[in-house]
Amino acid sequence: MNIRSFLADRVRHAMSDAGIPSDYSPHVAISKKAGFGDYQANGAMAAAKAMKTNPRVLAQTIVDHLDLNGIAEKIDIAGPGFINIHLASTWLAKQYDMPAQERIDSQTVVIDYSSPNLAKEMHVGHLRSTIIGDAIARILEFRGDKVIRQNHVGDWGTQFGMLIAELEEQLGDGERAELALKDLEGFYQQAKAHFDKDTAFADRARQYVVALQSGDAKVLRLWEQFKNVSLKHSEDIYQTLNVTLNASNVRGESAYNEDLAPTVTALKAQALAVEDDGAQVVFLQELADKNGNPSPVIIQKKDGGYLYATTDLAALRYRANTLKANRILYFIDARQSLHMQQVFTVARKAGFVDEWVNLEHHPFGTMMGADGKPFKTRSGGTVKLADLLVEAIERAHTIVSEKNPELDAATIKEVSQKVGIGAVKYADLSKTRTNDYIFNWDAMLSFEGNTGPYMQYAYARICSIFRKANIDLNSFSGELCVTEPQEKSLVLKTLQFDEALEHVSADAMPHILCTYLYDLASLFMTFYEACPILKSDVDDNTRNSRLQLSKNVAQRLQQGLELLGIETMERM
Ligand code: ARG
């Protein structure tokens, strides 16, 4: 049930019956202030302005035609022409039984996220793309879109010549690939050092780049080995992070090799790419700087090599034409905004992507340390994502064992895993995506405020109410009767779950769902204080109604957290 769109339909009809042309939207939204109803229809003002009439009078005419009998208990007009709709509790209580509206606008959506470079291990810089992209993938899928996850890993480029040469040498000494590459970071450094001091090795590394590009079987085999071990590192992280990416979602840069030359040819044929100092360049007047100089996009170097942008253009051709996406989302650091704009602009101009396909770069800010600078290790190095996650689980372990010493060791272990990982993810997902944020262990692991542990605890608390009453939450069913204001607020909030998801899907902003869940949990706590459930003087009907309401809250908390990729538990 989506109350907002239901009301918008009713108001749209009333507007049309009031003689307002259908191009004016009813603008129905959740009321922001208490006392102004549950929803507001704000369309009268814009319509009145265009029709050159008095907005309050027009709002009254709309209300005269608005049939919300049995649905609203009151409709009033405020200010210059806001229509405030106060919903009836009796109607609200019945809405849980309404079937979900079938979406008629489902889309095929490609989501490019995580996409680490395989030359090294994943570091904290990959966290945001991985978990934000995954939350959006889950949410769009849940809402009925066909979601195609694309892990555009960096598995191509000159550094692979050096890495393959190093791998060959270590395998020659009898080492197994898994062991040689156990510490990818260290391996990279070894290869680099080797490259810098040993000219024969450096020459071989360069030859291997050429051999790789020309499809030399032996070099390709080494490259495959390297890729597989590196991918395994990432897959372990996805599993720890409870992220849905798997091997079938990997389509790395190398997958587009065959289409790079045709892409450049197509751009040359349309005279979009021109030769500049031996290189092939597309000059974009659309993205000109303040002095009017067009923005250059190099798609082929003087030596014939292709670039990051060329691969992304080929990937776009594949996503639009082969995967037949209507919407393509990229979760990539804000520092790559210009790159994405260039790629989108070139793809549009060249007709690689039809104009009805949405191309959306959803950038995000940087994760900062306490010093306000990008998050680093104490010695100033990049933090491996694997290490960060181990620390999160350890810290959660300390807190959980202190808070709940009576839990057995196996449960503490499981709870720590879910709380630690959930805390890291929630702290990130609950911040406005486009801002930088400061990474703070104590804040994210707190059981109070808008945190992962607080949300998980709110769910566990409802489970404990059912446990205390000796009732199975899943099979319980009680009839709702809504009398107290705290009950009404809570019913309304639970019914707005779908609206929150709709909003997240449109803006690709997971924090909207976090805010919704936090409000829901807070309203539950207020309700729980004001409306006793298990006390002996509470009659059966009231108790069953309140249990049902609690169950509805628990289900949404659990479902909402799952859509964020955060696990819940019945006790913690
Ligand atoms: N591998 C790149 C990096 O680590 C990110 C790739 C993002 N996706 C894309 N289609 N360009 O910076």
CA of residue 116 to ligand 1 center, whole Å: 7
Please tell me the distance from the alpha carbon of residue 285 to that of residue 332, in angstroms, as a whole number. 24
Q: Which residue has the higher pLDDT, 444 or 33?
A: 444
In single-letter form, the type of residue at position 153 comes to V
Please tell me the distance from the alpha carbon of residue 124 to that of residue 438, in angstroms, as a whole number. 13
Radius of gyration over every alpha carbon of the chain, rounded to an integer in angstroms: 28
The strand pair at 72-78 and 82-87 is best described as antiparallel
Please identify, among 87, 114, 140, the residue that sits at the C-terminal boundary of a domain.
Answer: 87
Tell me, yes or no, whether 401 lies in a domain: yes
Tell me, yes or no, whether 38 lies in a domain: yes
Please tell me the distance from the alpha carbon of residue 285 to that of residue 293, in angstroms, as a whole number. 7
CA of residue 315 to ligand 1 center, whole Å: 12
User: Both 399 and 540 in a single domain?
Assistant: yes
Q: What is the average per-residue pLDDT within 4-18?
A: 95
Which of 320, 323, 314, 310 shows the shortest CA–CA distance to 356?
A: 320
Tell me, yes or no, whether 189 lies in a domain: yes
Q: Which CATH number covers residue 18?
A: 3.30.1360.70
Domain that holds residue 33: 3-87
Please tell me the distance from the alpha carbon of residue 525 to that of residue 461, in angstroms, as a whole number. 10
- What dihedral do alpha carbons 139, 143, 144, 150 form, nearest 10°? -20
Find all residues with CB under 8 Å of 557, minimum gap 6, and list them.
455, 458, 459, 462, 517, 520, 521, 568
- In this structure, the residues whose C-beta lies within 6 A of any atom of ligand 1 are 112, 115-117, 152, 154, 312, 315, 330, 332
Confidence of residue 539 (pLDDT cuts 50, 70, 90): very high
CB 134 within 8 Å of CB 565: yes
Q: How many CB atoms sit inside 10 A of residue 108's CB?
A: 16
Please identify, among 244, 264, 297, the residue that sits at the C-terminal boundary of a domain.
Answer: 244
User: Both 540 and 396 in a single domain?
Assistant: yes
Give me the residue label for tokens 């009145």.
48
Confidence of residue 173 (pLDDT cuts 50, 70, 90): confident
Tell me, yes or no, whether 198 lies in a domain: yes
Which conformational region is residue 422 in: left (phi greater than 0), alpha (psi within -120 to 50 degrees), or beta? alpha
Tell me, yes or no, whether 154 lies in a domain: no
User: Mutation test of ligand 1: which of 110, 114, 115 has the most ligand atoms closer than 8 Å to its C-beta?
Assistant: 115
Percentage with pLDDT > 90 across the chain:
91
Confidence of residue 342 (pLDDT cuts 50, 70, 90): very high
CB 153 within 8 Å of CB 115: yes
What is the residue-averaged pLDDT of the chain? Answer: 95
Q: What is the average per-residue pLDDT within 411-431?
A: 97
Confidence of residue 98 (pLDDT cuts 50, 70, 90): confident
Number of folded domains in the chain? 3
Distances (CA, A) of 178 to 156, 218, 384, 491, 506: 20, 18, 18, 54, 42
Tell me, yes or no, whether 124 lies in a domain: no
The strand pair at 82-87 and 295-300 is best described as unpaired
User: Both 179 and 58 in a single domain?
Assistant: no
